[in-house]
Amino acid sequence: MTTTYMESHSVDGLTVDHKNLMISLKKVPVHSIILTRCLSELSDAGVNVDIITQTAPVKNAFDVSFIVLERDLDKVKDIVNALGEEYPEIKITINKDITRLSVSGIGMRTQSGVAAKFFQVLADNDVQILMITTSEIRISCIIKIEDTEKAVAATKAAFDLED
């Protein structure tokens, strides 16, 4: 006889982090080492990169965005500005006005629909998701900083989370 244990709550934690920057490189040539070079230079400078998203190539180019800590802004600017000078076809932006909103819970391992519910809650509250990353027990979204308060309130209500 096999017994399956399901955790009672799919989500039991909410984390809000305002200390990140989103770096975006647009129209990066597909057959280039620009992204690899950028990430290597950031690593060499001691910058931790998190949540990397890349679009599918269109007309032999892709867009990529990633998150770094706000405290590394000067290092990041130096590296991406140097790349921008060398590759003027690439549009580079640094977005300081973001928040990382994460829901977590051990119950996410066994209960389906958590991501769908989380994304629906954000959509119902007109919160645009800029980036997403997931793991077995955590879903993190990058949202606009001005949407933080309503996103937090709606997420707490939807998942019955306490203050």
What mean pLDDT do residues 25-36 have?
A: 90
pLDDT in the model for residue 108: 84
- Domain-located, residue 163: no
Residue 109 has pLDDT above 80, yes or no: yes
- Domain-located, residue 8: no
- C-alpha 154: how far from its chain's center? 19
Domain boundary among 41, 64, 95: 95
pLDDT in the model for residue 106: 87
CATH number at 122 reads 3.30.2130.10
* Beta bridge partner(s), residue 16: 101
Q: How many domains does the chain have?
A: 2
Residue 83 near residue 92, CB atoms below 8 Å: yes
What mean pLDDT do residues 93-115 have?
A: 91
